[in-house]
Structure 1
């Protein structure tokens, strides 16, 4: 069994599945030097399970973590009413789950860390980005390291699973963690300019790709049948609205959140148009902007900004709006494999969203600094994904659902290559069988290369 963390999913029966979570090596290394580590990400992405694995298998000088969650009402009330007293009675090493629910605790944690800056003292989890927890951002600056756990990536699903009551034993052996941290990942190789064309043909994905889109990456949802998964996703959005948004913001129209999420799902991979969305929902531009920003902070939606440089003109500045999980988006639109597969326009946009999120997940495991963009100009030339590697150049990715690659698919990639001082590589991902070198630094690559190791 791989020594990467085995993520546990409880199904409706007694079966358990274990998934390797590729964030684990970076997370464990940061616990070795940082007094506070925050693991953030969407609700139900696996943060609690990963932390409980750490609690079971990782110790500091023989001392293991204790686990507390602010989802527990009495724990939440104690910490909210008396944050200083609550923190004072904490053990030396503790996991605090869902810290965004108690924003008043962060300054108390700062005081405690300043008294004792031992590595790995506090492992925090949160289901909201720092923009919704300004107390955390301000109080723990210079004392805290960050990691993000997204819903399951396809490569995590592709690693052989295991089961058994001792599945967590030896998870954090340092040599195995280091070896797994070096596992070949397509996006990381691409950022280094490495694209191999020497491998056997891969089978086309075809309808299997639609199946992957509909299933999504939330571990629990993946264990359910179609109807139960759809109900789970709808309940998930209602819970976000009634619990997280109500607690973390001053939004009044909580009832509109599920419909807003549905409309956003229908517009994934498109330029974000405040006015059009406002007209659909009969809400003002300011209200739409506020609500979408909150859903972004809760890892439901994502803005992808426009990329440009001083050699390009007529660039469209609008960001694209993307859903973080295609399975959730499909459920909100009542799409199953058959209906998604038949609607080729919507299928194409969902595949773009799917690929973007696979890129986001792989970038979250990459130690170098990167930024994610899209490119579009007023002549409607566009590239779906542009990755900027700080100080080193860009990688451009175009996504196609076809099994055939055309010369015209590389036209805008060539434009970006000519306009960029540092161009690492351009790739057309397609539903084909082989990786082909088209030109210097330009390649056609099967979509499945994103997750095949």
Structure 2
């Protein structure tokens, strides 16, 4: 009915409102919605959801600009899982390996590897085919796997292009596709008011660590424990939580990283209107004095007085204006520090 008689379909819900899922499958609906929205002026009358962000974004920008509020819903956060019936089963490697997609928790018998491999296949064969000038899907999938091996690293398009056998321009286009489809994101560097001798290229992360694990070929959470990228996957998991915290509040990302050319680095900087909160992320359960070095250096350089060490251990304390917290309590600690 939505396809054959769009106006009659929408008239049914003109007073009550409706949620329309996979709305991009009927592109003609957007122009009709524009007319109804302009006439009724009822905020939230229609809730539109869709999994194919390419088509959805294009139609929204063309017909509904200025009439909508956009909400990005990422996979489940640790806070959401802690508030659910699955809270007692959570541990570090399981969270990294399983990721945050709801189906993998609602249906505990699902094998994450099988689910993610099907997800990747569906994404590549259905969604990516809609992108113009993308004909070599096998090479694109190889490019996606190469990206998973570079989690937490400075984005090097030349290296990615060479390893995949594509041009630098194509690599840039493909990264853009992965960003648009919410598979990867680029964490920008923070370099305001600091020395010019700093890194100004972004770092590469995945929106879901379970997907990254599948692309890396990991087949169990036990394999995560000994994998050479475990530290990077843990860092990715924690930064994802910060990103979900912002998005779930309807706010844009305020996250950065910082690294100078002498080796000092802050894994994540949480920017507030009046100050910066540097966050050091460590996968270890054992606290080390080395974790404080970069934070203390950054505090001195930036004249900031706060900082957080986020790790997998159980000690919660405060030392030299630096809070120490378990990664599952990071958002709670961040709320306290931000006040």
TM bracket, shorter-chain basis: 0.7 to 0.9
> What is the DSSP-based 3-state SS (H/G/I as helix, E as strand, rest coil) of the residue aligned with 1:401?
coil
Q: Normalising by structure 2, what TM-score?
A: 0.86
CA distance in 2, matches of 1:274, 1:372: 22
In the alignment, what sits opposite 2:336? none
Asked if the contact 2:73/2:248 (under 8 Å) is kept, the reply is no
Q: Establish whether residue 236 from structure 1 lines up as the match of residue 119 from structure 2.
A: yes
| Corresponding residue to 2:222 among 308, 324, 338 | 338
CA distance in 1, matches of 2:302, 2:50: 38
Of Structure 1 and Structure 2, the greater strand share is in 1
Asked if the contact 1:103/1:133 (under 8 Å) is kept, the reply is no
In the alignment, what sits opposite 2:174? 291
In the alignment, what sits opposite 2:325? 445
CA RMSD of aligned residues (A): 2.8
In the alignment, what sits opposite 1:411? 293
Q: CA deviation at 1:124?
A: 0.7
In the alignment, what sits opposite 1:392? 274
Asked if the contact 2:19/2:48 (under 8 Å) is kept, the reply is yes
CA distance in 2, matches of 1:132, 1:374: 31
Closer/same/farther in 2, CA of residues 367 and 416 from structure 1, 3 Å limit = farther
CA distance in 2, matches of 1:137, 1:373: 28
Asked if the contact 1:385/1:398 (under 8 Å) is kept, the reply is yes
| Corresponding residue to 1:161 among 64, 78, 85 | 85
Structure number with the bigger relative contact order (C-alpha 8 A, sep ≥ 6) is 1
Asked if the contact 1:312/1:419 (under 8 Å) is kept, the reply is no
Alignment length, in residue pairs? 327
Q: Deviations over 1:137-180 (max 9, x none)?
A: 24323211122211111111111439xxxxxxxxxxxxxxxxxx
* Runs ≥4 residues deviating over 6 A: none
> What is the DSSP-based 3-state SS (H/G/I as helix, E as strand, rest coil) of the residue aligned with 2:34?
helix
In the alignment, what sits opposite 1:99? 23
CA distance in 2, matches of 1:439, 1:309: 25
Q: Deviations over 1:8-34 (max 9, x none)?
A: xxxxxxxxxxxxxxxxxxxxxxxxxxx
Closer/same/farther in 2, CA of residues 374 and 100 from structure 1, 3 Å limit = farther
In the alignment, what sits opposite 2:337? none
Asked if the contact 1:397/1:426 (under 8 Å) is kept, the reply is yes
Residues 306-385 of structure 1: matches in 2 within 5 Å? Answer: 306-335=189-218, 336-343=220-227, 345-366=228-249, 370-385=253-268
Q: Normalising by structure 1, what TM-score?
A: 0.66
Q: Establish whether residue 140 from structure 1 lines up as the match of residue 22 from structure 2.
A: no
CA distance in 2, matches of 1:235, 1:415: 45
Q: CA deviation at 1:108?
A: 3.3
Unaligned 5+ runs, structure 1: 1-73, 163-204
Asked if the contact 1:403/1:431 (under 8 Å) is kept, the reply is yes
| Corresponding residue to 1:152 among 76, 83, 102 | 76
Q: CA deviation at 1:417?
A: 2.4
